[in-house]
Structure 1
Amino acid sequence: MTGAERTPDAPQGPCVIVDPYSSGALFAQTLADHGVPVVAVVTGPRPPEAYASSYQPQDFPEIIVYEGDLEAVAQRLRALDPRCVVAGCESGVELAERLAPLVTPERCNVPGLAAARRDKSSMADATRAAGLPVIPQICTADADEVAAWLEREGLAGADLVVKPPKSASTDGVIKLTGGEDWRGVFARQLGRVNQFGEVDDRLLVQKFVTGTEYVIDTFSHDGKHAVVDVCAYRKVDNGPHMAVYDTMRWLPPDDPALPGLTEYVFGVLDAVGLRFGSAHVEVMGTAEGPLLIELGARPHGGGQPRFNRNATGDSQIDRTVRWLTGGELPQSYELLVHQMCVFHIAPRSGTVRGTAALDGVRDLPSHHFSIQNLADGDHVPATRDLVDSLNFGFVILAHPDAEQIQRDYEAVRAAERLLSIEEQRSTPPLS
């Protein structure tokens, strides 16, 4: 598949990035390298705390702050004759979906399905309506509705998952073995402020399903979808916290799971009306077939496109730029080297000592990149979700020999076990 050449009357203005945080921060330099200007639109005067360290405001000659007046922002963008409007990260998805039809109607997603590209309940409903299987779930603010649904679906006493419909990075995701105390958890989580500063005024309750979890990154134009990379996650329980990231492993394009995954994911993208841009689709590969976990209408976060370039020579950022500049777009990808991301895990909260034990990670034969954000004396929280993992740090292992990567993975975990994490004890009151 080859990208169409840009016609003389095609827009020659900037690429608009809404909330250029996380992987969205990588657009600016890549676009600049190809002579494409950029403009940032931000959903608030400050980025969400989870994304603050990735923001590079100096990369944008103009930054437009959205203050509630959609038409004012759209009017300014139309004057710039932009090439596209895309979300940089999850916090920018809703605004990008509202702006694109007003500013670049020839290059936008289906407006009437915008909710299905952000709200996990709506995306499941759209996927089900398209005839594709989804995880049994209910989204509500009423615990009695949940109780009736559990009885109706025969899920009383089954393993469940409770999570917010509009957060990301496993924020607020709780597994309930046997559905234990689901009412208590539901009551505590309802009304919680999530990592984007939004109130979780409804909650999703899902049947807990097992299998291999995959993430499929795609790029679409004119409603045509292509795979950029496929990875398999391994997640573990960390005490009471479920779905803590252990590893993410890049899969070769001839992996036998990919044809079924690709067909399902392309059907999901059609179902939610995604016609242009990047998508990050998480799917559980079960014994009965793939089931949608969730979809993000934006690039894979955490800076993943940089590491994907090392593994495949390509990324969602690069494909976006090539499409905008008339370059060729492949339908699939090639794996140049075996690669795995190892996420650091803190088994408990406390004051950390012995962080020098992690220094040897950089000397491992397959070490490609690593970051550790801890020093002796720092407080480390028990790892609960992806944000905690990224705050602690992670390691990218890449090597021609997959067995070497496995040996180095075990070395990373051995180094973690040398850390001393002293739990803080409360001081007894003075008598």
Structure 2
Amino acid sequence: MSAHPHSGPRPVAVVVDGYSAGNFYPAAFAAHGTDVVHVQSTPELIPAMAPPDLAAYRDTVVESDEPALVELLRGLGPVCVIAGQESSVPLADRLSEAVGVPSNGSALSPARRDKYEMTETLRRAGVPCVRQTKTGDPETAVDWAQAGGSYPVVVKPLSSAASDGVFVCDGPDAVRAAARAVLGAPNMFGLPNTEILVQSYLKGTEYIVDTVSCDGERYVCGVWEYEKSLLPSGKNIYNRDILADPDETPVVAELTAYVDEVLAALGVAWGPAHAEVIVTEDGPVLVEIGTRLNGNINAPFHDVCLGHNQAALTALAYTRPDEFRARYAGRTYRRRRPAVVYNTPTEQDGTVESVDETAVAELRSLESVLFATVKYGPGSRIRPTVDLLTSSLRVFLTAPDEATLSADYEKARSLKDAVYRVV
């Protein structure tokens, strides 16, 4: 299909590859009387991610010729051209810049997508960051780790997402094996890993810091503490994301000041950003940042515990910038209710014979459980959890008080393995 530039007076927003979290954009823009047009950057949909709901868009454009795409989008006179997910950030940067709408520009796109460039850009700007190297050779990785004189070190792909291919290595053999594993496999977007990133291990508590920017002025819309469990395999898996209360958690102000430096160094003036930061004994250090929505966003859940959500705030920043600045610029969220996102780990290994609907109903009936996503169906292969993608359920919990939330989390823990009957 081609887009129709003259179909009605409603303003238009353009979303490039609205997978997974990007699915929250159409409703967010619709709330501001804005239609959304979808740009699909690949001939076929990318299989690794939750597909876009194309019915929610006014139109879909599948166009691989970039100059032609720019002309077509100019004809729509859009309010913005934004990335629906991580791998589309560079294309959305180029398109928004070429179309002449608010944009972070393409000059620093590599630093916002390639994790090596990201850290080196921070280093040049004097922002605290991790020690690192990149290489296509496992032995060079081992030499760098040995020269640093301390383990563990982290080995991961240069650009992926969802903790895909991240290894914590405690010695040279582990570094060599991890380097070979990453170089021998594609990343989650199906692209080959020709180089790996080797970084010093950051010891400390990890946090998510989510922001939305409007012409260089940002609002912090959520800070979540990552609770992780280190598996025997060396995989450090996410367990719970716990919503921090800025009034009771002094580290939120420290994280905010640090992320402000990161946003400035990376040229982020517009739209959402999702940062992961470890607070070390020397202070906050960036793990990585994506200039797109938090992949764990659930808009109705965030509306309950935060009073807003990142997709809606992004739509506001682009459609009504004056209102966004008046209400949100330079500020930080208030926590309305305690909240947790629980990505359930599993040791189950086999084929899902059936889903126990009684267990699912019991889980969903808990007072704190707003949503619970059952990730596998009958006939699916379930394997022991090694990363975010292989967790067995995603449960969104929020309650008026910590005691209720905590009790329901423990109940969810006890129910998680009853959901799947595995053979």
TM-score by length of 2: 0.90
Contact 1:348–1:421 under 8 Å retained in 2: no
Q: Distance in 2 between matches of 1:378 and 1:17?
A: 31
Q: Structure 1 292/222 Cα, relative in aligned 2: closer, same or farther at 3 Å?
A: same
> Partner of 1:280: helix, strand, or coil?
strand
1:94-147 superposed Cα distances (whole Å, 9 cap, x missing partner): 211111110125x11142211011111111111111111112211121234323
- C-alpha displacement at 1:399, in angstroms? 0.7
User: Is 1:215 aligned to residue 208 of structure 2?
Assistant: yes
Structure 1 equivalent of residue 4 of structure 2: none
Counterparts of 2:297 and 2:420, CA distance in 1:
29
Q: State the number of aligned residues.
A: 406
Aligned pairs for 1:417-428 within 5 A:
417-418=417-418
What are the equivalent positions in structure 2 for 1:27-66 lying under 5 Å apart?
27-52=25-50, 54-66=51-63
Q: Per-residue CA shift, 1:175-195, capped at 9, x if unaligned?
A: 223344311321232142111
- In terms of mean alpha carbon deviation, does 244-253 or 142-151 score higher? 142-151
Worse overlay, 243-252 or 177-186: 177-186
Q: Which residue of 1 aligns with 2:24?
A: 26
Measured against aligned partners, the alpha-carbon deviations of 1:256-296 in whole angstroms (never above 9, x if no partner) come to: 10111001101001111111110000001111111100110
Corresponding residue number in structure 2 for 1:318: 312
What percentage of aligned pairs have identical amino acids?
A: 33
Give 3-state SS (helix, strand or coil) of 1:184's partner: helix
Task: Write the mapping of 1:253-268 to structure 2, written as runs, cut at 5 A.
Answer: 253-254=246-247, 255-268=249-262
Instruction: Name which structure has the greater RCO, CA cutoff 8 Å, separation 6+.
Output: 1
Structure 2 residue aligned with 1:118: 113
Aligned letter for 1:401? D
One-letter identity of the residue aligned with 1:242:
K
Moved more, 27-36 or 195-204: 27-36
CA RMSD, Structure 1 to Structure 2 (Å): 2.1
After superposition, the C-alpha distances for 1:286-344 in whole angstroms (9 at most, x for unaligned) are 11111100110101113333321121111121112222124343222111111111112
SS in 2 for 1:405: helix
Q: Provide the residue aligned with 1:84 in structure 2.
A: 80
1:6-21 aligned within 5 A: 13-21=11-19
Alignment partner of 1:401 is 2:401 = yes
Task: Give the counterpart of 2:271 among 246, 270, 277.
Answer: 277
1:4 aligned partner: none
- 2:207/2:277 contact within 8 Å kept: yes
Alignment-derived partner of residue 333 in structure 1: 333
Q: TM-score, normalised on structure 1? A: 0.88
Secondary structure in structure 2 of the residue aligned to 1:51: coil
Mapped partners of 2:293, 2:188: distance in 1: 18
Is contact 2:206–2:225 with CA below 8 Å preserved after alignment? yes
CA distance 1:179–1:417, shift in 2 (3 Å): farther
Greater Cα offset, 208-217 or 171-180: 171-180
Aligned partners of 1:171 and 1:385 also within 8 Å: yes
Letter in 2 for 1:252: D
Gaps of 5+ in 2: 1-8
Once the two structures are superposed, the pairs formed by residues 5-404 of structure 1 within 5 Å of their partners are 13-52=11-50, 54-67=51-64, 69-105=65-101, 107-155=102-150, 158-240=151-233, 242-254=235-247, 255-323=249-317, 324-325=319-320, 326-328=322-324, 329-330=327-328, 331-352=331-352, 355=356, 356-374=358-376, 378-389=380-391, 392-404=392-404
8 Å Cα contact 1:12/1:81 also seen in 2: no
Name the SS for the 1:273 alignment partner: coil
Q: Distance in 2 between matches of 1:241 and 1:352?
A: 26
Structure 1 segments of 4+ aligned residues over 6 angstroms from their partners: none
* Cα distance in 2 for residues equivalent to 1:57 and 1:288: 46
Aligned partners of 1:159 and 1:179 also within 8 Å: no
Query: How far, CA to CA, are the matches of 2:420 and 2:23 in structure 1?
Result: 35
Post-superposition shift, 1:167? 0.5
SS at match of 2:384: coil
Look up the match of 2:5.
Answer: none
Please, which moves more after superposition, 266-275 or 96-105?
96-105
Q: Which amino acid aligns with 2:16?
A: V
- The one-letter amino acid paired with 1:220 is S
